[in-house]
Amino acid sequence: MPTWLITGCSRGIGLELTRQLAANGVNTVFATCRNPASATALSELAKSHGNVHIVLLDVDDDATVQAAAETVSRLLSALGLQGNGIDYLSLADELDSVKADTMIAMFNTHVVGAYRLYHAFMHLIRLSERKAVINVSSPLGSLLVGALDNPALEFGAHFPSYCCAKAGLNMLTRKIAKGHPDFIIFAFGPGWVKTDMGGPDAPHDVEWAVERHINTVGKVSRSFPPPIALVPVA
């Protein structure tokens, strides 16, 4: 029975990912968020789907990550799939005016936060038959894509701390993959999606992005690994 741990499930991609996975009764979903009491949509989803379990988890906080790992560990003997979706974007982030605190906060969420999850839950994933870690990234974190003259990515110049943090997440993903050749580990970029963060002008609906995400995860194996980031850039 596939088991998923997903972060950031109170809204956006995390919520839709939980919704689509919960629709298949064979899945067990541990949907995490910073404040379950205010996650109204997620709570309603859990009420109507017995395979959804809401867990308090803040990737910026060691204590909540460890507590979440203990909670999941009590319920499962093995965690099948860990989906790490972290979306934190500082909009007031110009290259010449970005504050050091903003850069630090961004790295704490996207890079250190992802490592916290890896460190806390890896002992459970090791017990699973299909060991997988999927980090949600962005083409804005790609050094190669960032060097291309692509109008679709020009807005990324206004978010240097976000771009640098996603580049760090991509490298962390690569290092974890190198260290665990028997695992399925990759970074997946959903593209520019209509969410609270992406805004109404984004070209992709969240339902489409999540369906694509799930289909990709289902096709990936150790013998057929994807690129470090799978992203629609146009």
DSSP per residue, 121-146: HHHHHTTSSS-EEEEE--GGG-HHHH
pLDDT at 226: 46
125 and 131 in contact (C-beta within 8 Å)? yes
Show the tokens assigned to 12.
Answer: 């956006």
Classify 12 in phi/psi space as left (phi over 0), alpha (psi -120 to 50) or beta.
Answer: left
Q: What is the mean pLDDT of residues 69-77?
A: 83
| Residue whose pair of structure tokens reads 């949600």 in the numeric block | 136
- Lowest-confidence segment of 7-11, 17-21, 54-58, 154-158 by average pLDDT: 154-158
Burial level of 48, CB count in 10 A (0-12/13-18/19+)?
A: exposed
CATH for 3-88+115-139+173-219 is 3.40.50.720
Show the tokens assigned to 197.
Answer: 């963060």
| Residue whose pair of structure tokens reads 């699973």 in the numeric block | 128
CA distances, 137 to each of 2, 64, 218, 222 (Å): 23, 23, 18, 20
Give the whole-angstrom CA distance, residue 56 versus residue 71.
9
188 and 137 in contact (C-beta within 8 Å)? yes
Those residues whose C-beta lies under 8 Å from the C-beta of residue 18, and which sit 6 or more positions away, are: 6, 9, 29, 31, 42, 45, 52
The percent of residues in the chain predicted with pLDDT above 90, rounded, is: 32
Q: Is the pLDDT of residue 227 over 80?
A: no
pLDDT at 46: 97
Q: What is the mean pLDDT of residues 56-85?
A: 80
Q: Is the pLDDT of residue 94 over 70?
A: no
CA distances, 222 to each of 1, 122, 132, 181 (Å): 19, 17, 10, 8
- Residue 212's pLDDT band (boundaries 50, 70, 90)? confident
**Number of Cβ within a 10 Å radius of residue 185:** 26
Q: What is the mean pLDDT of residues 81-94?
A: 46
Show the tokens assigned to 74.
Answer: 């009590």
pLDDT at 233: 31
Please report, for the chain, the start and end positions of each structural domain, with discontinuous segments joined by +: 3-88+115-139+173-219
Burial level of 190, CB count in 10 A (0-12/13-18/19+)?
A: buried
Higher pLDDT, residue 62 or 192: 62
Higher pLDDT, residue 234 or 13: 13
What are the tens digits of pLDDT across the range 122-165?
888 888 777 888 888 887 888 776 555 655 555 555 678 888 99
What are the tens digits of pLDDT across the range 173-210?
999 989 988 888 888 877 677 666 666 776 677 787 77
